[in-house]
Amino acid sequence: MRIALDAASGDLGPEVCVDGALRASAETGEEVVLVGPRAVLEGILAKRSLGAAKITVVDAPDVIGMNEHPAKAVRQKPQSSIVVACDMVARGEADAVFSPGNTGATMAAALLKIQRIKGVERPAIAIPMPTINGVSLLLDGGANAECRPHHLLQFALMGSIYYSSLTGVESPTVGLLNVGEEPEKGNDLTIQTHKLLAASGLNFIGNVEGRDIPFGKANVVVCDGFVGNVVLKFAEGIGRALFDMIKEEIGKSLLLKIGGALARPAFVSVKRRLDDSEYGGAPLLGVNGVTLIGHGRSNAKAVYNAIKAAVKTKRDGVTNQIALAVQNYAQLISEV
């Protein structure tokens, strides 16, 4: 198996990508293809010991910046690391791709090159969210700002399949993110989606509310990409704000500082439990090849975990499972 790694677009530079790739390749036994400016990548590799890792380099002289317009950049930079890496999957030269670069550009490149699975109308970004009760999968995390009910049904289906691969849970619970528990609550989208999910045969547990997410009430939480993106970024912000506040308050006296220092390992544990680099990347589900998207700030550990996730997703045949399931659900969807 070969995993194409966009090693040039992350905020932290190519070194962390190379380090993550070395570790992941050695551990999984699979080949990792570093995609980016050849001289730079070979320069970094020359200073590392390969060990058991199988690493190759594919040249991609261009880079798409974090603030470039996704669709435009993908069109104008066919030699960029993101586009070249996606192209490798499209041409069968790689089995999966991971990019810690511009999320929109990675999506655009994947849709353009790898394309959608037949029958999937809207690929969705599935965000692994740490909760007090294990990981939950929130989707769509931002690929589709406007959605229709059958899109959300497909998200639930694709999310359930990926969740099973990620965790081993056989029939993951699915919750519809809404503003109340009752089926008739919410907006047109959620009211219609509720009916579809109830008839889907998935392990649908009904509506979940915002407060249920951090407690992991459902394994898979579906919503449109607008709501999902707001929630995802809000979680990021509130985590940082809370730790900032605790730090500030602990700094206010010597005694508090001593207490804080003694209790520090507890905070480190909490941070580790909330650390999204444990999952490394969020899959773009519904495209016809394993595509994972990482945070711009992905460090070596996040890259390592993302490559491992890519390998596992490919080994478990998630893309094929989704293609089959979508076929089987075509009837249900066409009835809406």
Q: What span, in angstroms and rounded, lies between the C-alpha atoms of 9 and 66?
A: 8
The DSSP secondary-structure symbol of 76 reads: H
- Least spacing, CB of residue 46 vs a second copy, in Å: 39
Residues 137 to 156: which contact a second copy by CB under 8 A? 142, 145-146
> Judging by beta carbons within 10 Å of its beta carbon (0-12, 13-18, 19+), is residue 101 exposed, middle or buried?
buried
Q: Is 297 in the site for a second copy (CB under 8 A)?
A: no
Q: Which of 249, 275, 297, 327 binds a second copy (CB under 8 A)?
A: 249
At which residue do the structure tokens 């190519």 appear? 14
**Which of 11, 42, 93, 236: binder of a second copy (CB under 8 A)?**
236
Quote the CA–CA distance of 90 and 87 in Å, as a whole number: 5
Site string for a second copy, 160-179 (x = CB under 8 A): -----------------x-x
Nearest-angstrom CA–CA distance, 292 and 65: 18
Quick one: which of 46, 92, 262, 334 contacts a second copy (CB under 8 A)?
A: 262
Binding of a second copy at residue 291 (CB under 8 A)? no
Binder among 135, 227, 300, 307 for a second copy (CB under 8 A): 227
One-letter amino acid at 215 equals F
Q: Does 267 bind a second copy (CB under 8 A)?
A: yes
Asked if 11 is part of the footprint of a second copy (rule: CB under 8 A), the reply reads no
Q: Whole-number minimum distance, CB 61 to a second copy, in Å?
A: 28
With respect to a second copy, which residue has the nearer C-beta, 198 or 245? 245
**Min. distance of Cβ 96 from a second copy in angstroms?**
26
Contact assessment for residue 139 and residue 126, using Cβ atoms and an 8 Å cutoff: yes
Residue 140: cis peptide before it, omega within 30 degrees of 0: yes
With CA atoms as reference, report the closest residue to 85 among 21, 162, 140, 12: 21
Rank residues 45 and 177 by Cβ distance to a second copy and give the closer one: 177
Among residues 10, 100, 159, 186, which is the contact residue for a second copy, using CB under 8 A? 186
Q: By CB under 8 A, how many residues form the interface with a second copy?
A: 58
Eight-class DSSP state of 314? H
**Angstrom distance (rounded) from CA 336 to CA 316:** 31
Give the separation between CA 135 and CA 128, rounded to whole angstroms. 6
Binder of a second copy out of 256, 275, 297, 336 (CB under 8 A): 256
Report the distance separating Cα 228 and Cα 177, nearest Å: 9
| Closest residue by Cα to residue 18 from 291, 314, 310, 299 | 299
Q: Residue 211, interface with a second copy (CB under 8 A)?
A: yes
CA distance 153 to 130: 23
Q: Which of 89, 95, 94 is nearest to 112 (CA)?
A: 89
70 binds a second copy (CB under 8 A): no
Which residue in the set 84, 89, 156, 232 belongs to the binding site for a second copy (CB under 8 A)? 232
Q: Which is nearer to a second copy, 161 or 235 (CB)?
A: 235
Residue 246 binding a second copy, by CB under 8 A: yes
User: Given the rule CB under 8 A, which residues bind a second copy?
Assistant: 131-132, 142, 145-146, 177, 179, 186-188, 190, 209-215, 223, 225-227, 229-242, 244-246, 249-250, 252, 255-256, 258-267, 269-270, 273-274
